[in-house]
């Protein structure tokens, strides 16, 4: 018989942390904490295999499941000296999700399950606390009705708000038992009225309804969106954890909270988190009440007057700190824990690896090495490469004038500027239209995930450092200010106000997630400085990786940025980007409009010193490092005007009639320019273009070498399909080289290679390597030509492919391993068979994508080239790829 249920609690468990795929992260860690002898309320985990069965069999469960669940429920009751549904000693349980990787807030939870009209009286007798019993019951009815029965949370909040208004109080805690009993009755009447059936009062119906809701939430929209954004496979499924309830809302000796064993924003080594006395867990994480700090240090830093847990519950704090230290040593990783204190007894409800900012991840990884808990290779694997983006972009200029609007909690570091929006849908819509937006909410919920992803930053009026907004923003690398309690947000009027200061939708604000401050208008930014922990981890990564990391850089500024981030060369210098500046575009257009070779060469002669000067500057910056320069690639019509009103001005500057300019533009128009007259094809039709660019490169190299610097110039021929094309271009370049040598008496060292961006070129790489001294895969175009997809038009339907599970990743974000990846492997193998020492790399956008970098390492390429700000990401990803391959080979 298959085992579908794994029990835990009372100092032992059926499972352990190694069964994460089967039990989910939460279930595996609850089992591990039980095995460590920590105080974990007993319970059981229904495995992810049941979730798979549930979806494969029309939402039906395995035949043996109910008996196994009944047995586990009975054991849990014995361990708690209670029984589910027993009026005298009622057992109450929580039902929670638990995927193998953390998906905070994305799936459903039900608390206080087991309360009925009979059992609530039993809870009152056992606890002698009617308020606690009715508070738990009204919470259960509201949560179950929302999660399982599909009713709106706001309908219940309206009843609650009316009750507080009628009594003249502001807080839920000001309501007494009779108030809460009446509210619960009204909640149940609302359910009956809306659904036509009464609220379920049998514990069996409640339990299986909740289990089904959790499994169903695996495929809810917000969970699917989160999986798509975080590349989590849809077929993994979730486990369901059923656990005996312990209560933080049983008076002033009870509390609930969330803690990290180190600060997830900075990495500092102290217990960090929040708690609430006389509350349940959702009060902390949902942002409904603003919680208090766990440690005195953080309370003082935040300027709060409310006592920390360290001050108000010192014994509980000591126990929590000791358990946190135990877990961190055991898992050799920072832990995020949830806990409840019930009448002076501490219970651990969850532990998992703590999500953290990039800054914190660097410090924590390095500190754990220094503390002897992990080695350097493990430290390198602990930092998510893409998260380094958080460190590589500008922050607010401290000297700039600022107009403060309000303050809140520094929930996720970094700064962002954008237009105020109040809904996730509006954030997504405006972002898709090219606007930078700041999503401003009372508090966020999992339904806001798409808007949070679209926004540049997030602002909430309620909630704390461990609220949904804070946790998700840190995971996404979005700046976030939470708990800005002085801000009044009015969704109906689309405004937010502090006193007499009012901002409306569309107004621009700046948020500083590192300081917890909101400013009106735009605040200037400053460039980041990467030192200390960043440089230490990068040095460790550099010692491990095999791939070289180059940068795509078209200007001296780009080159300096790339070199400052550790680039070992330029893998793509696009010469056409230099042609769009003022005087140059006139000469380019004169060249395009030329009717004869002489006219074309005259126009190119004007461009020659400009191009030579560009290359000289880049060669100086990259002294001693290779610079791969791609010859002119785009079709010529891209340099001509596209709107009628532009023709007169352009014609005048070019010294021709507007009519002639229009005729030339029409003549150059192509139905499919991506596959048209571009790249090496231009150089074959107009070899004087290739000749001018080759001369500019070679003369620039000689001039910079004369200054005592070392130049490594590599000339790349784009859009090659046949070896004959490459041979023709090489012949033009070598004739120019001979002329330069005759004029200057010497030549710089240079290489000639090709960009492989067509399937034919990849398949005939052995032939091309007879001529080419290096290959560079233009993976953007290679993906387009291999998959038959236009990158500019594919966004909407590729997103749909991912939503429907047809593709895990956008092939323009991560290389299609089975198709484009196989062509890269074939080309590398055949090229090296002809020329064993050939250098091979990639230079598309994929060069900064960790998954694509892993493929490049596996295939045995020499380098990847990416945008300057992605260089550190690529350095770390290349090291992790090397470590993964070692692990696989072992």
Can you read off the two tokens belonging to residue 682? 């231009």
Do 81 and 88 form a contact (C-beta atoms < 8 A)? no
Active-site residue among 468, 637, 846, 857? 468
Residue owning tokens 């295999």: 49
Active-site residue among 440, 843, 856, 866? 843
Active site residue 843: yes
Nearest of 245, 250, 235 to residue 95 by alpha carbon: 245
Query: Rounded to whole angstroms, how far apart are CA atoms 445 and 454?
Result: 15
**Around 219, how many Cα atoms within 13 Å sit in the side-chain half-sphere?**
12
Residue owning tokens 């290959």: 775
Edge-first strand order for the sheet with 255-260 is 292-293, 272-277, 255-260, 335-342, 345-353
Task: Give one word for 412, left, alpha or beta, with left for phi > 0 and alpha for psi -120 to 50.
Answer: beta
Query: Rounded to whole angstroms, how far apart are CA atoms 747 and 703?
Result: 11
DSSP 332: T
Instruction: Detail the DSSP E strand segments found in 450-609.
Output: 457-460, 480-482, 488-490, 495-498, 501-504, 508-512, 517-520, 525-526, 548-552, 570-574
Strand partners, 490: 495
Question: 35: buried, middle or exposed (CB in 10 Å: 19+, 13-18, 0-12)?
Answer: middle
Can you read off the two tokens belonging to residue 87? 């009026």
Distance between start and end Cα atoms, the chain = 35
Residue owning tokens 């390597």: 769
Nearest of 165, 212, 182, 221 to residue 803 by alpha carbon: 221
CA torsion, points 345, 349, 350, 351, in degrees to nearest 10? 10
Exposure string of 537-549, with b = 16+ CB inside 10 Å and e = fewer, is bbebbbebbebbb
DSSP 631: P
Strand partners, 774: 839
Query: Rounded to whole angstroms, how far apart are CA atoms 493 and 93?
Result: 41
Do 550 and 569 form a contact (C-beta atoms < 8 A)? yes
* DSSP collapsed to 3 states, 786-836: HHCCCCCCCHHHHHHHHHCCCCCCCCCCCCCCCCHHHHHHHHHHHHHHHCC
Question: 834: buried, middle or exposed (CB in 10 Å: 19+, 13-18, 0-12)?
Answer: middle
- Helix-strand-coil split of the chain, %, nearest 5: 50, 15, 35
10 backbone dihedrals φ, ψ, rounded to 5°? 60, 35
Specify the pairing of strand 480-482 against strand 457-460.
parallel
User: Which residues are within 8 A (CB) of 197 and not within 5 positions of it... i.e. 6 or more apart?
Assistant: none
CA torsion, points 191, 197, 203, 207, in degrees to nearest 10? -80
Do 530 and 565 form a contact (C-beta atoms < 8 A)? yes
Radius of gyration for the chain, computed over Cα atoms and rounded to the nearest angstrom: 32
What's the gap between Cα 580 and its chain centre? 34
User: Which residues are within 8 A (CB) of 381 and not within 5 positions of it... i.e. 6 or more apart?
Assistant: 880, 883
Task: Please give the positions annotated as active site.
Answer: 468, 843
């Amino acid at each position: 018989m298959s085992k579908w249920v794994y029990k835990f609690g009372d100092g032992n468990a059926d499972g352990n942390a190694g069964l994460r795929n089967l039990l989910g992260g939460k279930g595996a860690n609850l089992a591990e904490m039980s095995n460590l002898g920590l105080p974990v309320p007993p319970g059981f985990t229904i495995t992810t295999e049941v979730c798979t069965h549930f979806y494969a069999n029309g939402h039906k469960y395995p035949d043996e499941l109910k008996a196994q669940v009944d047995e586990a429920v009975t054991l849990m009751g014995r361990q708690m000296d209670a029984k589910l549904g027993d009026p005298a000693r009622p057992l109450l349980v929580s039902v929670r999700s638990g995927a193998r990787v953390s998906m905070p807030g994305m799936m459903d939870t039900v608390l206080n399950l087991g309360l009925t009209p009979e059992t609530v009286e039993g809870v009152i007798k056992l606890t002698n606390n009617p308020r606690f019993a009715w508070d738990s019951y009204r919470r259960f009815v509201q949560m179950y009705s929302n999660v399982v029965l599909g009713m709106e949370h706001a309908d219940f909040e309206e009843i609650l708000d009316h009750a507080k208004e009628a009594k003249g109080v502001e807080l839920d805690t000001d309501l007494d038992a009779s108030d809460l009993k009446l509210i619960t009755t009204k909640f149940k009447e609302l359910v009956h009225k809306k659904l036509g059936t009464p609220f379920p009062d049998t514990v069996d119906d409640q339990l299986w309804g909740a289990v089904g809701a959790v499994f169903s939430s695996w495929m809810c929209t917000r969970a699917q969106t989160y999986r798509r954004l975080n590349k989590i496979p849809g077929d993994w499924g979730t486990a369901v954890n059923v656990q005996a309830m312990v209560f933080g809302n049983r008076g002033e000796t009870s509390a609930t909270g969330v803690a990290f064993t180190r600060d997830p924003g900075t990495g500092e080594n102290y217990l960090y988190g929040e708690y609430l006395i006389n509350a349940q867990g959702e009060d902390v994480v949902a942002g409904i009440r603003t919680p208090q700090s766990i440690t005195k240090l953080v309370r003082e830093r935040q300027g709060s007057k409310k006592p920390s847990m360290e001050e108000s519950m010192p014994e509980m704090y000591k126990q929590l700190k000791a358990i946190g230290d135990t877990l961190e040593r055991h898992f050799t990783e920072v832990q995020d824990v949830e806990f409840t204190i019930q009448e002076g007894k501490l219970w651990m409800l969850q532990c998992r690896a703590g999500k953290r900012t990039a800054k914190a991840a660097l410090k924590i990884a390095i500190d754990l090495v220094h503390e002897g808990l992990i080695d350097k290779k493990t430290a390198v694997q602990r930092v998510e490469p893409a998260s380094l983006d958080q460190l590589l972009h500008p922050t607010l200029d401290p000297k700039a004038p600022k107009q403060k609007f309000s303050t809140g909690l520094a929930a996720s570091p970094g700064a962002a500027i954008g237009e105020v929006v109040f809904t996730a849908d509006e954030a997504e819509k405006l972002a898709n239209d090219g606007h930078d937006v700041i999503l401003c909410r009372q508090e966020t919920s999992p339904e806001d995930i798409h808007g949070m992803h679209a926004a540049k930053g997030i602002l909430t009026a309620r909630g704390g450092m461990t609220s949904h907004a804070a946790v998700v923003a840190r995971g996404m690398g979005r700046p976030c200010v939470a708990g800005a309690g002085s801000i009044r947000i009015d969704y109906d009027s689309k405004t937010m106000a502090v006193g007499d200061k009012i901002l409306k939708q569309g107004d621009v604000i700046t948020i500083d997630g590192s300081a917890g401050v909101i400013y009106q208008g735009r605040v200037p930014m400053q460039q980041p400085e990467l030192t200390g922990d960043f440089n230490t981890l990068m040095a460790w990564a550099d010692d491990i990786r095999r791939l070289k990391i180059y940068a795509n850089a078209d200007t001296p500024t780009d080159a300096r940025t790339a070199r400052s981030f550790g680039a070992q060369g330029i893998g793509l210098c696009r010469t056409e980007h230099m042609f769009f500046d003022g005087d140059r575009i006139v000469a380019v257009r004169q060249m395009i409009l030329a009717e004869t070779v002489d006219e074309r060469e005259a126009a190119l002669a004007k461009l020659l010193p400009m191009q030579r000067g560009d290359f000289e500057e880049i060669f100086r910056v990259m002294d001693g490092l290779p610079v791969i320069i791609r010859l002119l690639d785009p079709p010529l019509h891209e340099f001509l005007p596209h709107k009628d009103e532009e023709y007169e001005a352009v014609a005048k500057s070019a010294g021709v009639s507007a009519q002639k300019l229009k005729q030339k533009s029409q003549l150059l128009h192509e139905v499919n320019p991506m596959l048209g007259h571009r790249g090496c094809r231009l150089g074959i039709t107009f070899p004087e273009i290739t000749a001018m660019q080759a001369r500019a490169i070679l003369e620039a190299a000689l001039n910079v070498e004369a200054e005592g610097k070392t130049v490594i110039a590599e000339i790349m021929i784009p859009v090659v399909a046949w070896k004959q094309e490459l041979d023709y271009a090489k012949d033009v370049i070598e004739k120019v080289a001979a002329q330069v040598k005759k004029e200057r008496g010497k030549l710089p060292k240079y290489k000639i290679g090709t960009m492989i961006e067509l399937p034919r070129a990849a398949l005939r790489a052995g032939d091309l390597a007879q001529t080419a001294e290096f290959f560079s895969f233009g993976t953007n175009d290679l993906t387009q030509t291999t998959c038959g997809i236009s990158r500019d038009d594919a966004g909407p339907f590729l997103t749909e492919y991912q939503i429907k599970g047809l593709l895990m990743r956008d092939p323009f974000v991560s290389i299609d391993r089975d198709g484009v990846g196989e062509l890269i492997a074939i080309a590398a193998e055949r090229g090296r068979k002809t020329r064993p020492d050939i250098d091979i790399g990639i230079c598309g956008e994929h060069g900064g994508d960790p998954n694509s970098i892993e493929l490049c390492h596996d295939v045995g390429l020499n380098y990847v080239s990416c945008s300057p700000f992605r260089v550190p990401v690529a350095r770390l990803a290349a090291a992790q790829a090397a470590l993964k391959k070692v692990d696989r080979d072992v």
